[in-house]
Structure 1
Amino acid sequence: MKHFPLLIFIVVLLLSPLCSNAFLRLPSDVEFPSTQAEKLIRDLNLFPKKLVNIADRDYLSSSSPDAPKIVEKPLKFPDLIEDSSGVSVQDFAHHAGYFNIEHSHSARMFYFFFESRNSKKDPVVIWLTGGPGCSSELALFYENGPFSIAKNLSLVWNEYGWDKVSNLLYVDQPIGTGFSYSTDKRDIRHDEDGVSNDLYDFLQAFFVKHPEFAKNDFYITGESYAGHYIPAFAARVHRGNKAKEGIHINLKGFAIGNGLTEPGIQYGAYTDYALDMGVISKSDHDRINKVLPVCETAIKLCGTDGTISCMASYLVCNGIFNSIIAHAGGVNYYDVRKKCEGSLCYDFSNLDKFLNQKPVRDALGVGDIEFVSCSPTVYQAMLVDWMRNLEAGIPALLEDGVKLLVYAGEYDLICNWLGNSRWVHAMEWSGQKEFKSSPELPFVVDGSEAGLLKSHGPLNFLKVHDAGHMVPMDQPKAALEMLKRWMDSSLTESSAEPEILISSV
């Protein structure tokens, strides 16, 4: 391997005393990825009992060759608080279930499906949470699902749930995350090929189970590390359609929220963003940036040499991010306006508490399967994928008319708007010049500017005001309006009147 000497240099650099000084704070041992994963989970006040969902037996196994690929049941959550209009969960069709992954050893993928409050003809929207290794139930109950968890562990309607304008799917993936499980460790995924193939197989079986939705427009959405999953999944669906594999999926677009998509560009934006937001000083910025050339070289090698260089690039490049945090004095890296209290940046602990209640588990049909809110094992398994450039497959989708929306809350550090804007503008496609020269327009919701929008053809970039990493949680009304108008190809239009909470059915 011609780059091996340089890789050795990078690893030695990482482990040397020079790189553990107060300015760089790079890792001093190979346990760093595990420590990083555990910190991610603790910062959200989540403490899963298991590291990953590898079960000792298949709870849904069947000896029949005609056994369905999907085991699904109507979902009747207990103790749902009715909203002021008197509408209850029983008035809508909700489902939860498991999909037996076809191209796996023994994997089962768990999902929620919420039919639109408006119409079954609304688009089908799938949401993918990042991590990597965090359950999509984080978004379901804290961001854009039909309801959220109250302090007393009952449920309340979410006035701005995305099921108001779409038929909404949440999937626990990659395998081992959330309630998704396998009895075979070989089903743990390490790259986007494995992840996207599992999701594609899921969709095929889902539309066999629900053929009434198969012709609906289809959109892929998500945030954070889903900036990797989403382009890969969109490309897999598009490829399957062209090859006439199974059911045609009516893919219209994909949306990435505060995502990690092109690390080679986005890591270079960390210090610039932190300096602009007053998180670090100019002298800190310049010192930390001395590592940037090594980071960029390691990322380039990851794209050509594979596993060793990808691990090296993860270690050296995350040293940049950790150095910023070390100087930031407890700042919440998901929202730099806020401080983390001790190790706690957000308190999502009610998620574990709610889903571990026996009546809830019975309603979901999960049996003895543990809920793994965020899996350190899945996180570490995907490390060789972390520094891959997932922007590379996007231009072909744009050229075929598949829409892309990249949006980012302006106060997020970890997947900041600046890095996302830079890779979107740097992406080479037939409309690049026109996109770069397009005007920046206000994104107006109810007469107020909720963000700044750039658009050309199928490509849109939206910087969302007054939001951090989780835009639908921080700005739920603007996020719902964003989704609706993007799917309608009317992002530049203003919303005239507030929408009714529950549409007539």
Structure 2
Amino acid sequence: MMRPLRLVPGLLLLLLSRPAPAPASTVVTHLPGFDGPLPFYLETGYVGVEEDTGAELFYYFVESERSPGADPVLLWLTGGPRCSGFSGLAFEVGPVKYVLAPYDGGLPQLVYNPLSWTKMASIVFLDSPVCSGFSYARDPEGCDVGDYSSSLQVQRFLIKWFTDHPQYLSNPFYIGGDSYAGKVVPLIAQYISEGIEGRQQPVINLKGYLVGNPITDPKFDENFQVPAAHGFGIISDQIYEAAMQHCKGDYVNPVNQMCAEVLQTVNSLISEILDAHILYKKCVFSAPKPIHDAMARKNLLEESVELNEAPARPAIDCLTYGYYLSYFWMNNKMTRDALGIKQGRLVSGKDAKENFPTHMTCQAAYHTISTSP
């Protein structure tokens, strides 16, 4: 006679505490290239943010590994613009990273990152704006959005996401990002604040925002490169003093010939280092941003099944080598199946086929000298 199945009380509590996936989401328990089941809860999915163009944003949600019922929830945006949120997950603050082994044509391997911020926070990594990463629009015009429109779309995303995940509404909520996200993170925080004041439902428990190495005003950012270079010891006291004397604080538009000459020297010295991380080796740029022609691949009506050209292959000890590996991992069918990526349908040719939009992880664009990657 078969015995009735009994659950250990602790296991039952764990199962009951797990969030129910949203209707258009996928619970990912295994990732190609990762040995064994994932030691954290990962959910991916799409959320519609624009009905007219059929725009949908793709997200990766990693639940806090400590106390998900009480720990903060963080929305993380990567720079670019149009860099994938996967950059944040695999190269910045997320729980996985690539094994930096020579690429042999197979599937790159992933391992657990013990320094992940998900040790103490739940994080939503978002492919924003539309047509970044695996986000897409059925109308190509849906890809043409500016900072204000994309920020409003992120607010719509959050309203819908929290509606589908009400168990996190009481958690402290923060918005974070790096590089180009410095432009949109404050905007998103402002729109959410206005929604809270207007009693928009659901009420998001916004506590603040954070930006790392952010782009702000281009004139301010570019002007600060010279004093930053001096502070880091990239240019000498003499060169810095000459720049201050002849450029009068304007290091973007030379005001005279002496200023132009000293700035040429400054720029030559800065060009010798990696401005994203001055202590790292300067290598070939291996993670190109999506080109304009690639936008056609992001409306799920592709006419070409060819992937974008693979990025240049850097040395294995380069900061960008992981980005090189991500190109092959993200564009692998097993990866897309595991993540629940939607397929597009070819609309030309005799035999229509299903096809995936090309994914470019994209390294964040840094415009100021920083000591953090």
TM-score (structure 1 length as normaliser): 0.52
Q: Show the counterpart of 1:124.
A: 73
Task: String of CA shifts for 1:309-363, please: whole Å, max 9, x gaps.
Answer: xxxxxxxxxxx99974433352111122234135556222111121122211101
Task: String of CA shifts for 1:251-289, please: whole Å, max 9, x gaps.
Answer: 011111111224443332211111232323456544597
Among 359, 362, 366, the alignment partner of 1:371 is 359
Q: Are 1:275 and 2:230 matched, yes or no?
A: yes
What is the identity, as a one-letter code, of the residue corresponding to 2:27? Answer: P
Q: Are 1:113 and 2:67 matched, yes or no?
A: no
Q: Show the counterpart of 1:333.
A: 275
Shift of 1:292: 5.6
Change (3 A) 1:224 1:273: same
Q: Show the counterpart of 2:172.
A: 217
Shift of 1:214: 1.8
Among 275, 286, 290, the alignment partner of 2:247 is 290
Q: Show the counterpart of 1:61.
A: none
In 2, Cα distance between the equivalents of 1:205 and 1:296? 45
Q: Are 1:80 and 2:34 matched, yes or no?
A: yes
TM-score (structure 2 length as normaliser): 0.69
Q: Show the counterpart of 1:495.
A: none
Shift of 1:239: 0.9
Contact between 1:70 and 1:206, CA under 8 Å: does it hold in 2? Answer: no
Count of residue correspondences: 290
Provide the secondary structure at the position in 1 that maps to 2:24.
strand
Among 227, 238, 260, the alignment partner of 2:182 is 227
Among 223, 228, 243, the alignment partner of 2:198 is 243
In 1, Cα distance between the equivalents of 2:41 and 2:281? 40
Among 363, 368, 371, the alignment partner of 1:415 is 368
Uncovered stretches (5+) of structure 2, i.e. residues with no partner: 1-20, 102-107, 255-261, 286-313, 344-355
Provide the secondary structure at the position in 2 that maps to 1:351.
helix
Contact between 1:138 and 1:351, CA under 8 Å: does it hold in 2? Answer: no
What is the identity, as a one-letter code, of the residue corresponding to 2:96? Answer: F
Q: Show the counterpart of 1:410.
A: none
Change (3 A) 1:103 1:198: farther
Q: Are 1:350 and 2:350 matched, yes or no?
A: no
Q: Show the counterpart of 1:206.
A: 161
Alignment of 1:55-454 (within 5 A): 71-76=24-29, 77-81=31-35, 88-89=37-38, 92-102=40-50, 104-121=52-69, 122-151=71-100, 153-281=108-236, 285=240, 286=242, 290=247, 293=250, 295=252, 324-328=266-270, 330-342=272-284, 346-347=320-321, 348-366=323-341, 367=343, 368-374=356-362, 414-416=367-369
Task: String of CA shifts for 1:357-394, please: whole Å, max 9, x gaps.
Answer: 22111011213122122399xx9xxxxxxxxxxxxxxx
In 1, Cα distance between the equivalents of 2:66 and 2:267? 44
Change (3 A) 1:257 1:329: closer
Shift of 1:70: 5.8
Contact between 2:275 and 2:368, CA under 8 Å: does it hold in 1? Answer: no
Contact between 1:70 and 1:99, CA under 8 Å: does it hold in 2? Answer: no
Contact between 1:176 and 1:375, CA under 8 Å: does it hold in 2? Answer: no
In 2, Cα distance between the equivalents of 1:346 and 1:115? 27
Backbone CA RMSD of aligned residues: 3.1
Change (3 A) 1:187 1:69: farther
Uncovered stretches (5+) of structure 1, i.e. residues with no partner: 1-67, 83-87, 298-319, 380-412, 418-467, 471-505
Change (3 A) 1:120 1:329: closer
Shift of 1:74: 0.8
In 2, Cα distance between the equivalents of 1:293 and 1:328? 17
In 2, Cα distance between the equivalents of 1:254 and 1:139? 16
Contact between 1:177 and 1:375, CA under 8 Å: does it hold in 2? Answer: no
Shift of 1:186: 2.4
Provide the secondary structure at the position in 2 that maps to 1:259.
coil
What is the identity, as a one-letter code, of the residue corresponding to 2:129? Answer: P
Task: String of CA shifts for 1:432-474, please: whole Å, max 9, x gaps.
Answer: xxxxxxxxxxxxxxxxxxxxxxxxxxxxxxxxxxxx242xxxx
